[in-house]
Structure 1
Amino acid sequence: MVGRLNPVVEAVTARIEERSRGPRAAYIEMIRARRPSTYARSRLTEGNLAHQSAGCAVIEKAQILGAGWPVIGIITAYNDMLSAHAPFESYPQLIREAAREVHAVAQVAGGVPAMCDGVTQGQEGMELSLFSRDVIAMASAVGLSHDTFDAALHLGVCDKIVPGLVIAALRFGWLPSIFVPAGPMPSGLSNPEKVRVRQLFAEGKVGREALLKAEAESYHSQGTCTFYGTANSNQMLMEVMGLHLPGAAFPNPGTELRAALTRAATHRAAAITAQGKDYRPAGEMVDARSVVNGIVGLMATGGSTNHALHIPAIAAAAGLCVTLADFAELSGVTPLLARIYPNGPADVNHFHAAGGMSFLISQLLEAGLLHGDALGVAGPISGYAQEPVLSDGRLIWRPAPAESGDLEVLRPAGNPFSEEGGLRLLTGTLGEGVSKVSAVKPSHRFVEAPAIVFESQEALKAAFDAGKLDRDFVAVVRFQGAAANGMPELHGLTPVLGVLQDRGHKVALVTDGRMSGASGKIPSAIHLGPEAAHGGPISKVWDGDVIRLDAEAGRLDILVDPAEFHARAPAEFRPNRGPAGLGRELFDLFRMNVSSAATGASPFNFLGPRS
């Protein structure tokens, strides 16, 4: 059942449409001008076609050169170092076979890089992480620029990979696009136990051997990491935005159901080309309603803070202007329906077993919080409140469960964990940032304490190891924004600050950097802008300044005389503080041209001149 649309959801959608009127119209004109009148390869010369088909099997070659089958381009993020992407090794063959079943050809159009934030956390390579999103978008564009495809399948799961693939899919918005995930690994060591060992290690109470054992038992097989970080938030986002088949997000890899969903995605891609009767170009399908649905899904599940960067960047690729105020307003009317680690002990497999995406979508539709008339690759979003199952070996969809299987993990809209969503916009004399509060106890959401200023997470850890942080304080970690060093995640600070909070200290984190979907129980203000490298207020904070972080009221203020604070010179930004290496110097162009965090920290300029 679809309830009457919530008036706030309706109003925010209308405002996005109004402020985006010019860029969206130009975008729609661009993709409609590219709509093919026949198969895309008909534009190619004989020499072009010969090159396209030269490496194909005989049946594909015959169809490309002379017959009438559509061609599906595959963009893959496969590599066998990432557990989440290793299953994609076998997907192209499965997709080729499925395409033949419906008289279509499938070809790998290109591969994109896929780095693992879990491997690079706290390491120098993490400085490339955020910008890898934009490299992935460009690499996807290179693959699709052969301009010979009638639809596209995008194989990706993890943090920056899916947003990069979506940006590219929207810039090739005349093509129908379907996203094909791989699923989460089976559950391993429980999340509370993993956190306990991490904090014991941070305190020096267990050694590296115990820590490695716990980590290896947590991340133990092929598939996405099972906590609700950016990777699994991506899968939720793709489903509520309609870029997945219903229920594709969370079946495990290597199962018959997962293979059946991949075959079904291939069949569907062949059915929605411009040559068929149900043409679904991605750029027209994804509109303001889709983006609002994505934000609502993020709030209802307490998803990754990284999507406060990615959703504005994705929206801009479709000519849509989304602001952090839109996030805050939607969060205010969206109940928190899921508790998945770090917001609770359960992992994403528990969420899926309790009813998963079908139950979540059914509840949000019934509460009037989703645009049920927004389009997805399988039909309107109102039809996504169903789950896939195998019946006698055949893939079918059945209605979402009427009740949650575990109220400690997933709840109905009438009985939420919280009346509001998991993300807050913070504004005040220190600028504008976001705070993930879904994992923070209400008693910890207000902190007023002296600042201790750091310019790296390593410096904060060193101060902790030296015993200098056993007190109330606000950690200000600056020069961590996109223009400074690429905005690496500061996930490594969570255990340290968690230990201090557990000791009874009032602690908080204020930074122009990121904390990711693994942001834990510490109150924080992240993505703070303007960032320190651009002379933002955070660059003027001194040790001992009293800072007030009030996540409930949405305020972040420095309690210093305004005239004195304004007169201070910003701390000097030294763009070459660290040594070159690991390719970081190759990304100077990105750092010099990146937009603010509030607009997606993007080097692309899809919406016209920046303010």
Structure 2
Amino acid sequence: MNSLLQDVTDRIIERSQATRAEYLQKIDKARRQGPHRGALSCGNLAHGFAACNKAEKSDLRSMVKANVAIVSAYNDMLSAHQPYETYPAIIKQAVSEVGSVAQFAGGTPAMCDGVTQGNAGMDLSLMSRDVIAMSAAVALSHNMFDAALMLGICDKIVPGQLIGSLSFGHLPTVFVPAGPMPSGLPNKEKARVRQAFAEGKVGREELLEAESQSYHSAGTCTFYGTANSNQLVVEMMGLHLPGSSFVNPGTPLRDALTRAAAVQATRLTDLGDNYMPIGHIVDAKAIVNGLVGLLATGGSTNHTMHLVAVARAAGYIINWDDFADISRAVPLMTRIYPNGSADINHFTAAGGMSLLFKQLLDAGLLHNDVNTICGKGLERYMLEPKLIDGELQWVDGPQESLDKEVLADVEKPFKPDGGLSVLSGNLGRAVIKTSALRTPHCHMKAPAVVFEDQFELDAAFKSGELNKDCIVVVRFQGPTAIGMPELHRLTPPLGVLQDRGYKVALVTDGRMSGASGKVPAAIHVTPEAYTGGLLNKVQNGDIIELNTETGALTLHVPEHELEAREAKQASLDNHHTGMGREMFTGMRSTLTGAEEGACSLFASQEQEA
């Protein structure tokens, strides 16, 4: 095992001894109290299976047949989740054929950041993760289940379902993907049209046509954003069936994998000899494996918050230094948009997950002594699923990349590191994704142009005020301020400025997430401006330095001058009401900082710690 990765793992275990022990004690107590149908009163149990057919009622009364909970984030509007409409019927039939029962236990919210981007609904996006976690917990709270299937793919949904599942860590839980849509308009062309629209060179009709050709059918968006990062990380942690993350929806192989996932859940219950709950799969080594996969592929920076919150749900405390050290140990092995022009289907064609697992394992970059839903170790994940004469089988995958412009060899990576750096200085701490930058490192020292809202930048761009070297500051975008929306509407104009030859960068306490691209962006700045971070006091013309080689994020203003400046009072009324945002006032006030996961679920525990 790589020594630096082992050191990171050891320190996570060491710092988390008390919290992990408390977690294991909690899930062991839950196991001893159940399934928990046997602990229910006759009236409770009768309610629980009232809508079942006669055979299912008999099975559930017997207490020897498994009952599998289906928790789904299905909706028609989110293309990645639309295929889940048919999954419950497929799952129920597959589970019934092996002598068990599956019940649809509950739904979780599933908002699409692609629809809400740049609109009021985006202010709810990050907070929806915690609502999803609570919704999953509500679904499982009936105490009727021996195992669970989680149906979710996109940005906040999988992290939320993971957190909710881990609160029921005594239950075996299998995550069930639905797969990416087939490739559409090439990502490079889509980006070109977006920039042309930002410059006024094409109109809305041309832009809409390009977007429609890109996002064109059921399935996950094909760029390597948070949704596809979720799938890769979950498989790396052993919670998916091997090779199931990126099989297209609506195919016989996809349906076969869904049936197999359902059956696998029945094999892991406490009613048999292979009990394997999710709380025993998600341990420090599995979390590190997930981080390795994320960083080796240049995945979404959203996980610098999501995986912190997921780890905390399993009793582990991780921080951005862990991300940075793992990034230094792990080479960048893929070029998938926005880190390149290929999409996730091209990655699969080049060798996909089986080859990624093989290369990382061979290089000593993954812990192999881990539990998975398929047993001990990751060898099965070096295989890929195939339908052979109508039967699902796992066979050897490619032994080397079939397209080294998309998936490189571990010995000859695209970059020697994973492309994620932590910046710190008097402005606070931030993360920056360097894997998509035009140069391996970024060092900028330029005057600040300050905005209190992402929408203010449009007018400045159109008026020509930004035609200069500058570091754009967009503040009061943090968790407590407005819920930390993504700021991707900033990308096209900043990209245009960069193409005009200006040196530009972004510093913000908001998010840019999985689609972070060629513009250097120091994001998730913490402490955020709203809660007293120094970002609050930055003024137009102040010199800011951003240096990924030294890790500096510095405001070059004398200390005595900063002390004399009054803190800026943000006017955020337009972000706190309308589109349901007024209902989230309480949640915003309890969100932890970005490095603590921007999470409302463990706020009191973090304060005690």
Q: TM-score range by the shorter chain?
A: over 0.9
Aligned-partner residue type, residue 437 of structure 1 = T
Using the size of structure 2 for normalisation, the TM-score is 0.98
Q: Pick one of 10, 20, 23 that aligns with 1:14.
A: 10
- 2:400 aligned partner: 403
CA shift at 1:385, angstroms? 1.4
- 1:147 aligned partner: 143
- Find out whether 1:449 has 2:446 as its counterpart: yes
- 1:489 aligned partner: 486
Unaligned runs of 5+ in 2: none
Measure, in 1, the Cα distance between the counterparts of 2:9 and 2:63.
44
- 1:52 aligned partner: 48
Measure, in 1, the Cα distance between the counterparts of 2:32 and 2:211.
50
- 1:135 aligned partner: 131
Aligned-partner residue type, residue 139 of structure 1 = S
Aligned-partner residue type, residue 332 of structure 2 = L
CA shift at 1:608, angstroms? 4.5
Q: Pick one of 530, 534, 538 that aligns with 1:537.
A: 534
CA 1:213 to 1:150, structure 2 compared with 1: closer, same or farther past 3 Å?
A: same
Using the size of structure 1 for normalisation, the TM-score is 0.98
Measure, in 2, the Cα distance between the counterparts of 1:441 and 1:555.
19
- 8 A Cα contact 1:84 1:184, kept in partner: yes
- 1:186 aligned partner: 182
- 1:574 aligned partner: 571
The 3-state SS of whatever aligns with 2:455 is: helix
Measure, in 2, the Cα distance between the counterparts of 1:214 and 1:610.
51
- 8 A Cα contact 1:304 1:517, kept in partner: yes
Cα displacement string for residues 579-598 of structure 1 (whole angstroms, at most 9, x for unaligned residues): 61111011111111110100
Measure, in 1, the Cα distance between the counterparts of 2:18 and 2:172.
23
Cα displacement string for residues 323-347 of structure 1 (whole angstroms, at most 9, x for unaligned residues): 1000000000100001100000000
Measure, in 2, the Cα distance between the counterparts of 1:552 and 1:500.
24
- Find out whether 1:559 has 2:540 as its counterpart: no
- 2:98 aligned partner: 102
Cα displacement string for residues 4-59 of structure 1 (whole angstroms, at most 9, x for unaligned residues): x0011101000000100001100000000111476421111111111111112332
- 8 A Cα contact 2:153 2:177, kept in partner: yes
- 8 A Cα contact 1:309 1:600, kept in partner: yes
Q: Pick one of 305, 310, 329 that aligns with 2:301.
A: 305
- 1:175 aligned partner: 171
- 1:227 aligned partner: 223
Aligned-partner residue type, residue 607 of structure 2 = P
- Find out whether 1:476 has 2:473 as its counterpart: yes
- 8 A Cα contact 2:305 2:594, kept in partner: yes
CA 1:509 to 1:591, structure 2 compared with 1: closer, same or farther past 3 Å?
A: same
Counting only pairs closer than 5 Å after superposition, residues 296-335 of structure 1 correspond to structure 2 as 296-335=292-331
Aligned-partner residue type, residue 271 of structure 1 = R
Measure, in 2, the Cα distance between the counterparts of 1:472 and 1:263.
55
CA shift at 1:408, angstroms? 0.3
- Find out whether 1:609 has 2:602 as its counterpart: no
Q: Pick one of 450, 463, 466 that aligns with 2:463.
A: 466
- Find out whether 1:510 has 2:507 as its counterpart: yes
CA 1:298 to 1:610, structure 2 compared with 1: closer, same or farther past 3 Å?
A: farther
The 3-state SS of whatever aligns with 2:31 is: coil
Measure, in 2, the Cα distance between the counterparts of 1:391 and 1:375.
28
Aligned residues: 607
Measure, in 2, the Cα distance between the counterparts of 1:132 and 1:67.
36
Aligned-partner residue type, residue 78 of structure 2 = L
Aligned-partner residue type, residue 511 of structure 1 = T
Q: Pick one of 151, 158, 161 that aligns with 2:157.
A: 161
- Find out whether 1:354 has 2:327 as its counterpart: no
- Find out whether 1:91 has 2:87 as its counterpart: yes
The 3-state SS of whatever aligns with 1:492 is: helix
The 3-state SS of whatever aligns with 2:595 is: helix
- 2:420 aligned partner: 423
- 2:290 aligned partner: 294
Aligned-partner residue type, residue 288 of structure 1 = A
Measure, in 2, the Cα distance between the counterparts of 1:139 and 1:354.
38
- 8 A Cα contact 2:302 2:513, kept in partner: yes
Q: Which deviates the most, 320-329 or 438-447?
A: 438-447
- Find out whether 1:41 has 2:41 as its counterpart: no
- 1:383 aligned partner: 380
Measure, in 2, the Cα distance between the counterparts of 1:577 and 1:245.
45
Q: CA RMSD for the aligned pairs? A: 1.3
